[in-house]
A = this chain, B = another copy of it.
């Protein structure tokens, strides 16, 4: 059977980017369907009736939703270049920090970008506290996955494009190289890998999109 792999996505989605990276690292051919989020396609609504969001991976007609769940699906379906380690304890750790990234790190960095004054300061304190856990997790490692890119690298990969965007808009450094040597080193190392670098959305286009978003929804 010829496999049909479609990815419903938008070019700027940090969650969709996870799936792009995973498919590229696995060497899976797929068709990319670019969604207009102001006018979502009937297929997107059909495939993701609960959240109506990208990314959605459709494999031989069956949809999979939620980016970290899609990563697990990809890893279980195509075994080459495994994303999760074999050891159950290390698998649990990768899943834990990926969830921590989604539940805590994203929101604290988003708050730095969207809040002002005292609220921004509080968000900065929170973000630094959160990022310190990741700094520690990288100790003595090249990637979160060890010697090669794994599940957690892909899950945290949005840092390599969204931190520079945030820093350009704010005009100050969010991830200080002195405070976060491991994390800064990882950002360089990770974004230098061809499959990662070649699929990063253009920096300037992202900055423009974020600026436009912030101009219309400053208190979000």
Binding site for B on A (CB under 8 A): 50, 59, 62, 64-66, 69-70, 72-73, 76-77, 88-89, 91-92, 95-96, 99-100, 133
Determine the residue in chain B with the shortest Cβ distance to A49. B133
Which chain B residues border A64 with CB–CB below 8 Å? 89, 92, 96
Beta-carbon contact of B65 and A96 below 8 Å: yes
Q: CA of A181 to CA of B65 in the docked complex: distance in angstroms?
A: 27
Which chain B residues border A92 with CB–CB below 8 Å? 64-65, 69-70, 72-73
| Interface of A: prevailing SS | helix
| Closest beta carbon of chain B to A53's beta carbon, Å | 12
- Which of B69, B88, B89, B99 sits near A66, CB closer than 8 Å? B99
Beta-carbon contact of B89 and A59 below 8 Å: yes
| Closest beta carbon of chain B to A73's beta carbon, Å | 5
6 contacts between A and B (CB under 8 A): A50-B100, A59-B89, A65-B92, A66-B95, A70-B92, A72-B92
Given the interface contacts A50-B133, A133-B50, does A72 sit within 8 Å of B100 by beta carbon?
no
Which chain B residues border A96 with CB–CB below 8 Å? 64-66, 69
Which chain B residues border A69 with CB–CB below 8 Å? 92, 95-96, 99
Beta-carbon contact of B66 and A77 below 8 Å: no
Which chain B residues border A95 with CB–CB below 8 Å? 66, 69, 72
Beta-carbon contact of A91 and B72 below 8 Å: yes
Q: CA of A89 to CA of B70 in the docked complex: distance in angstroms?
A: 10
Q: CA of A33 to CA of B48 in the docked complex: distance in angstroms?
A: 41
Q: CA of A59 to CA of B66 in the docked complex: distance in angstroms?
A: 29
